[in-house]
Amino acid sequence: MSGPESSGPAIVVERMGKRFRLQRSGTRTIKSAMLDLMRNRGAGKNAFWALQDMNFVVNRGETLGIVGANGAGKSTLLSLLAGTKVPTTGSIRTTGTISSLLELGAGFHPDLTGRENVFLAGAIMGLSRRQMRERFDAIVDFAGMRDFIDQPVKHYSSGMYVRLGFSVAVEVDPDILLIDEVLAVGDENFQKKCLQKIDAFRRAGKTMLIISHDLSTIQTISDRILFLDQGRIEGIGDPREVIGRYRALARSRQTGGYEREWGTGEARIEGVTFEDESGRETDLFESGGTVRCRIRYRAERRIEEPVFGFGLSDANARLIFGSNMQIEGFRLPAIEGEGEVVLDLGGLPVAAGHYLFSFSLHSSDHRTNYHRLDHCFAITVTSDSRFEGVCRIPCAWSAPGPA
Amino acid sequence: MLGWVRDIANRRELVWILIERNLKIRYKSSFLGFFWSLLSPLFLIFIYSLFLGVLKFPIHLPTLVTGIIAWQFLAMCMGDSLYSIVGNANLVTKAAFPRMILPLSMVGANALNFLFSFVVLSVYLVFAGASFGGAGWLPLIMLTQAALCLGMAMIVGSANVFFRDTEHVMSVIMLAWFFLSPVIYEPEMIMEGFPRWVQVAFYLNPMSGILTAYRAALLTPPAVDGGLVAMSFGVAWAVFGAGLLVFRAAEPRFGDEL
């Protein structure tokens, strides 16, 4: 199956909206439907718009990343594109065959063998038995499951399930591939294989739509990013820029209105990212774990001996700890243009919860505040240990015997 | 409408694979597997032949067995139809394909099963000395019954997506339908001494004419009520048409409800 002959975009979405009826708890019965009728509750009251005013075009060969908070409508958008849900208003036009990794291996029947399920999945995606026979070996090899392929899939581990599902979806060689959060499943080895396959797809000129919460990965693999917020398009375009806006919005939602920003603007803190012990970018940390803050700055003119400072506050903006380069005895000779400074925290001795970081950039005599970002960066800390208060002080108990 | 037929014709591989899957699942982990579709009608004939004398049913054994085996095709379809959509929720929410393929392949699997039973029935009828006088009508009769089954399956399968108590309504309806159909009796019997509305309902019941037609084609009945058969066939195809309309209206919302 080669790509479709006609030229033009792969996906065109116009004035598209999707409305859901809200389900009350439990399944619907004839009784509840009658009661609704008698109470004259039409569709209007119990409906909500999951997606509204969707207008966008995905070009052939493009990789579009989709980001947004939980409930923003990302998965609904992919099911509409896959054709498993029907838009309430507007239209969606797609060109070429579509394969979706919405729920990997979800179409598998537990009592059938891997082999039977592979053929079933292929038929569902529109391939003939002959076409599937040609691809069968490649599918089994990619999943690495030669030994288990004639076992009923109910005996498979969840990892095997996902691997086989991914293999089928990519080997059917669709023109458009829809991927929902699969970068987060499987072991590291398989994830690497998935990313390689996604890269191969890109090079083969396939169109891909990818949902992920892994912002750094999605930023590198996407040509453009679509940012959904509460069922509307909040931004679409350059990955770096749109993900920056998504991060900013997510942050302002979390900072609870305590964030403040001021300064002369001669030099600015352009952005701060946080990394955990393994060097992975994240906003989620374990109590006691290390935090590395990468502070990107931009100075409009040369500034001698600038001082960067930071503060960590609890969710109510009460300062827990604050320090700066001067206090810690680090001297930065001068800054000019763009650059980065790194702040390492040797361990977060705080209880589980939400915390706010503040960063500042000021002159060495503290007279001029070039830029201050108070309570602008939210992080979340998890903990296995239960203790009272905000901060953990190392403590040990003992019971010396009677003297 | 034509587009629809074409869509399904294009996906006939999927229809076959689903029919195959439905049959495989039915006999999953059973020792005798497909032999059951031959064995169960055999046992059925054997058991009725033992007890017919005791029960003193005023009906011949070949007539009774023909009725029961034909009825079972409908009964199996109706039981499976409840889950033809709901039971495939993971397919419906995962991939786009003509949803009609689900009830179609379910009826297809049951039709194949019915054909196996029918072979067993025919062998028995040969020994029982049946005439097979109208065997040429069998394809039309079977097709009509399949259309009725598919029409009902589309309605019941869709209804069960939206109302999960369809199951309970169904079991009541199937009991009434069984007694309103000439399965364990012959049409003449119900025409005597029953209220007028029961007779009208019997006449409109598509299974009345279908069962009568099977018996007329295989056995040598005294006289066949041609009007009844024509009426039933008309109603059966009307049910098929109604099923198509209902299914078409319900289909776009399956993805939201499941």
Amino acid present at B192:
E
Q: Which residue of A has its CA nearest to B26?
A: A111
Domain extent listing, chain B: 58-257
Report the C-alpha gap between A197 and A191 in whole angstroms.
10
Report the C-alpha gap between A173 and A99 in whole angstroms.
8
Task: Enumerate chain B positions whose Cβ falls within 8 A of a Cβ in A.
Answer: 11, 13-14, 17-18, 21, 24-25, 28-29, 90-97, 162-165, 169, 252-253, 255-256
Residues in chain B within 8 Å Cβ distance of A33: 162-163
Compute the average pLDDT of residues A184-194: 72
Compute the average pLDDT of residues B202-207: 93
Beta strand spans in A259-392 (E): 260-262, 267-275, 284-286, 291-304, 307-314, 319-324, 334-345, 353-362, 369-382
Q: What is the mean pLDDT of chain B?
A: 88
Q: Which of A79, A84, A176 to mutate to test the interface with B (most CBs of B within 10 A)?
A: A84
Confidence class of residue A186 from pLDDT cuts 50, 70 and 90?
low
Distance from CA of A180 to the nearest CA of B (A): 12
pLDDT of residue B215: 92
CATH code, A11-25+44-245: 3.40.50.300
Could you tell me if A100 lies within 8 Å of chain B, comparing CB atoms? yes
Interchain CB distance below 8 Å, A86 and B255:
yes
Interchain CB distance below 8 Å, A84 and B94:
yes
pLDDT of residue A236: 92
Report the C-alpha gap between A99 and A208 in whole angstroms.
10
Q: Which of B6, B7, B13, B248 to mutate to test the interface with A (most CBs of A within 10 A)?
A: B13
Interchain CB distance below 8 Å, A107 and B169:
no
Domain extent listing, chain A: 11-25+44-245, 260-382
Q: Which of B11, B17, B95 sits opposite A100 (nearest CB)?
A: B95
User: Is residue B177 scored above 60 in pLDDT?
Assistant: yes
User: Is residue A1 scored above 90 in pLDDT?
Assistant: no
Q: Which of A124, A153, A172, A180 to mutate to test the interface with B (most CBs of B within 10 A)?
A: A124
Interchain CB distance below 8 Å, A29 and B165:
yes
Confidence class of residue A43 from pLDDT cuts 50, 70 and 90?
very low
Compute the average pLDDT of residues B42-57: 80
Mean pLDDT check: name the lowest of A34-38, A368-372, B174-178. A34-38
Compute the average pLDDT of residues B142-164: 95
Q: What are phi and psi of A326, to 5 degrees?
A: -60, -50
Residues in chain A within 8 Å Cβ distance of B91: 107, 124
Q: Which of A102, A112, A126 sits opposite B94 (nearest CB)?
A: A102
Compute the average pLDDT of residues A212-217: 80
User: Is residue A42 scored above 60 in pLDDT?
Assistant: no
Q: Which residue has the tokens 């603007």?
A: A265
Q: Which residue of A has its CA nearest to B169?
A: A30
Task: At B233, list the tokens.
Answer: 């066939």
Residues in chain A within 8 Å Cβ distance of B256: 20-21, 85
Provide the angle, in degrees to the nearest 10, between the axes of the packed helices B206-218 and B196-204: 70
Compute the average pLDDT of residues A50-56: 92
Residues in chain A within 8 Å Cβ distance of B90: 103, 106-107
Report the C-alpha gap between A126 and A354 in whole angstroms.
48
pLDDT of residue A177: 87
In this structure, whether the domain defined by A260-382 belongs to CATH 2.70.50.60 is answered with yes
| Top-confidence residue, A252 or A384 | A384
Could you tell me if A125 lies within 8 Å of chain B, comparing CB atoms? yes
Q: Which residue of B has its CA nearest to A110?
A: B25
Compute the average pLDDT of residues B185-212: 86
Structure confidence by residue, pLDDT tens digits, A124-133: 888 888 888 9
Residues 6+ apart with CB under 8 A from B83: B157, B160
Q: Is the predicted ipTM greater than 0.85, yes or no?
A: no
Structure confidence by residue, pLDDT tens digits, A345-388: 988 889 888 899 999 999 999 889 999 999 888 888 888 777 88
Interchain CB distance below 8 Å, B255 and A102:
no
Residues in chain A within 8 Å Cβ distance of B161: none
Confidence class of residue A2 from pLDDT cuts 50, 70 and 90?
very low
